[in-house]
Chains A and B, each alone.
Chain A
Amino acid sequence: MKAATEIRLPMNRVEGDLEIRVEVTDGHISEAYSVGTMYRGFENLLRGRAPLDGLVITPRICGICSTAHLMAAAKALDDVFGARVPGNGTRVRNVSLMVEQIQNDLRHMFLLFAVDFTRPAYAGLPLYEEAVRRHTPLRGTSSSQAIRETKRLVEIVAILGGQWPHSSFMVPGGVVSVPTANEVNQCRSLLASFRKWYEGRILGCRLERWREVDSGPALQAWLDESDAHRESDLGFFLRFSRQAGLDAIGGGHGNFLSFGGLKIPESSSVSAPDGGLHLVPSGFVSSGRKEAFDPAVITEDIGFSRFTGYTGGRHPSEGITVPDTDRAGDARRSWAKAPRYGRRPAETGPLAERIVAADPLFCDLVGDGEGSVFARQLARLVRPALLFPAVDTWLKEIASSGEGFYKTYRGVDRGDGFGAVQAHRGALGHWITIENVKIARYQVITPTAWNASPRDDEGVRGPVEQALIGLPVADPEDPIAVEHVVRSFDPCLVCTVHAIEGEGTLRPVTFF
């Protein structure tokens, strides 16, 4: 057996930067470490501040999903104060979150993920030229159109909430804005125009036709049905994925977590597929078996983190964040904690959302197994198709229902709150404790914290780490499969590769 070759992949822009370290033995990944390399200290910044300040500060955790953080922060405060959100307050919140989600899904696909199809590693594939034509950064047909269309879509958030990104229009008890009927109509026009582009360019068919696809064979039949399907961006993704073997790589633990969300207002004509109160169901699925969601069993370990102060798992409502200077330089330790659900690592995101919702297409593709790069990306690319009808119905109902947008609430001196959102990358939770009318504790677990988690105290790998084990690496200087696997979790990053021979040694880098 050859000695392990270690590859480090510095990666940018998650809620902290991320670096993936893998060891390659006999051409396959034998070990993987997910290391957050940036610490911004947001949780501690909030301590001692006024209860509502999280509405301004937490959206700034992430520049592409700030509305999701705003929603989680507002819901945590709803919870503390017992605030009741009127129907239109819920609708404006939901619509804004869903619009940001659609933006995120398509930008991830066309600006961050599919760009890799143009890399020289694929030059030998028959579809390579088409990949270059579509996915060259900024200038590819899909890339440039995605930039133009998504920026128009987020105008809806600006109309309802003032600006995108980084507004703070959701507050306990609802939203601050009172959009006029004309403004709601502008939102509907923007949505209709975007949907037309999505159907024409991304799907190559009407939403209704796509939603009939309920199994692997039905997906193949859909692809074979017409040139419009084959030539769409979805059709190209299906064709390219097959040539690149994306359905054979990237399975994780087979544990899927969704916090669920998008509460349906009482008077709304929107109905949940499972008959529940939320459009997106919550739950945890392990090896095909579903458990009801219970936030009490969430814990975070720090045994492989650059933090100190406790051992064993802690529930976020008792969590602390204490950076350890001695551990800060340890290349195997992460600036992320290790969240666990009932002591188990969990993958979260669009695929997990579909598995928990018992979606027939994705349950068929994944079975009782672990998923793949292909399944994760497909779930992301077609998620907007599920959202458009509800977004439009809720916009219509804002103008017609006559319900309120905001209801005053009574502040409290002390209390605990939990805000859960099924955000774009998956399960997002904010936990707040208020004492003496100040924030005494604020803990955030992001979807990327779940997915890119380091090992827990028992040494069990996080989902991204697990998904990399056994992966073949043909060229350690350009391990493109590794990047596909990591990116399929949408940690909102751009990764680059740094190869080092031998284990644990870093090539010295000087900047002067």
Chain B
Amino acid sequence: MAKRTLYWLQGGGCGGDTWSLFNMESPDILELFDLLGIELLWHPTISTLRDAELRALDERILSGQQRLDLFCLEGSILCGPSGTGMADTIRGRPKKELAQALARKARDVLAVGTCASFGGFGAGGETEATGLQFQKTEMGGLLGRDFRSGSGNPVINLPGCPCHCDAVTGTLSALVTGPSLRLNEHNSPLDWYGIMVHQGCTRNEYHEYRVEEKRFGEKGCLFFYMGCQGPLVYGSCNKVLWNRRSSKTRVGVPCFGCTRPDFPQNYPFFTTRNIEGIPIELPAGVSRAHYLAYKGMAAAAAPKRLIKRKSGI
């Protein structure tokens, strides 16, 4: 089988998705490329091409001489200031032009991380950041809602800040070896974006019985007061775990909803917006009246060992 070629571009971002990818184990990133027969044409952190060689590579891809199977963008597309695109340039030109041209040549396009998927930091701000096929919740973005890559897929969005390495490597594996991926409404694969972040959180027993914290450094649930969005947001943090060890919510950091199309949200982190002690935002599909009744009963049924924070989470 011919090698699958991969080109990784970094736009308006921090490089965190790349470093997250380096967390991969069994197989690690190197073994994975070997297993899948991926030929890395370019990655700015790894590759050693001189600029003349990189320019030649770009030209070969854009003229169709060089096949491009997998195009990964990390970081947002910066269109500002004032629509110039000069907030992020390469060789004196707006980088968005290169991103657009490469996407049109690729068999599949992956938006790695929330910035590449939805714009993330700077979306709606002075840098006019956008994702490849979404700007926040609106479909469109740089490439437009009707864009399809060579395979017929839309841009596959792998949000998260950073994106978990499993989502990247698992998506690459599926694209190379099949079966085809099932996507959610934001074109993210259900395998990693089909469950809520709080599934698997070691604080779930506290959540069940409404043992809720109002200060840092405690063992209980962070949903009612501390701004945790674990029950509201799709993500597999507590299923696949971070660095094979833990997750933010397990150690007491609220989930900030970093996979959401509107991340970073324009309301405060670390505080839950609520009405009379009940969060304004409830898990999708939950009736407020039923939730009130359920949580009242749950709090009444809470066992002493939880109220006294005795679980060894």
List A residues at the B interface (Cβ < 8 Å): 8-10, 12-13, 15, 17, 37-42, 44-45, 49-50, 52-53, 55-57, 60-64, 66, 111-112, 115-116, 118-119, 137-139, 144, 147-148, 150-151, 154-155, 157-169, 171, 173-180, 323, 325, 328-329, 331, 335, 404-406, 408, 477-478, 492, 494, 496-499, 506-507, 509, 511-512
Q: B253 to A169, Cβ gap below 8 A?
A: yes
> With contacts A37-B88, A138-B30 known, is A161 near B253, CB below 8 A?
yes
Choose from B30, B92, B244, B248 the contact partner of A509 (Cβ within 8 Å).
B92
Most buried by B among A118, A325, A499: A325
> Quick check: B217 and A147 within 8 Å, CB to CB?
no
Extra 6 A-B pairs, beta carbons < 8 Å, given A41-B127, A158-B243: A148-B28, A155-B245, A158-B244, A166-B258, A511-B58, A511-B101
A352–B195 Cα distance when bound, in Å, is 48
Contact A509 B44 (CB under 8 A): no
What are 20 pairs between A and B in contact, CB < 8 Å? A12-B45, A38-B87, A44-B126, A50-B268, A55-B270, A56-B256, A63-B15, A63-B17, A144-B30, A160-B251, A162-B250, A162-B252, A163-B246, A169-B253, A176-B253, A404-B217, A406-B217, A494-B46, A506-B92, A511-B101
Q: Is B48 an interface position by the 8 A CB rule?
A: yes
Q: Which of B76-84, B150-158, B177-185, B282-290 contacts A (4 or more CB under 8 A)?
A: B76-84
Cβ–Cβ < 8 Å partners of A64 in chain B: 15-16, 19
Q: Among the listed A12, A41, A498, A512, which residue makes an inter-chain contact with B91, where contact means beta carbons less than 8 Å apart?
A: A498
Q: CB within 8 Å of A: which residues of B?
A: 10, 12-20, 22-25, 28-30, 44-52, 54-55, 58, 62, 78, 80-82, 84, 86-93, 97-98, 100-101, 121-122, 125-127, 161-162, 215-217, 219, 237, 242-253, 256, 258, 264, 268-271, 312
List residues of chain B with CB within 8 A of the CB of A496.
49-51, 54
Q: How far is the CA of A477 from the CA of B127 in the complex (A)?
A: 33
Given contact pairs A42-B121, A477-B52, A512-B101, A137 touches B47 in the complex (Cβ within 8 A): yes
What's the Cα separation between A84 and B79 when bound, in Å?
A: 43
How many whole Å from B265's CB to the nearest CB in chain A? 10
Q: A138-B30, A323-B126, A496-B51 in contact; A177/B252 too (CB < 8 A)? A: yes
CB distance from B84 to the nearest CB of A (A): 6
Q: A478 — which chain B residues lie within 8 A by C-beta?
A: 50
Which chain B positions have C-beta within 8 A of A45? 121-122, 125, 264
Chain A residues lying within 8 Å of B10, measured Cβ to Cβ, are: 12-13
- The answer to whether B268 and A53 have CB atoms under 8 Å apart is yes
Across-interface contacts of A335 in B (CB, < 8 A): 87
- A138-B46, A163-B247 known; A37 and B89 CB under 8 Å? yes
A144 to B217, CA, bound (A): 38
Whether B44 pairs with A329 at a CB distance below 8 angstroms is no
- List the A side residues contacting B54 at CB < 8 Å: 496
Which of A15, A53, A492 has the most C-beta atoms of chain B within 10 angstroms of its own C-beta? A53
Chain A residues within 8 Å of B84, by CB: 325, 328-329
Contact status A40-B86, CB under 8 Å = no
* In the complex, chain A residues whose CB is within 8 Å of the CB of B127: 39-41
Nearest CB in chain B: distance from A133 CB, A: 15
* CA A283 to CA B101, docked complex, whole Å: 49
Chain B min CB distance to A325 (Å) = 5
Once the chains bind, are A158 and B161 in contact (CB under 8 Å)?
Answer: no
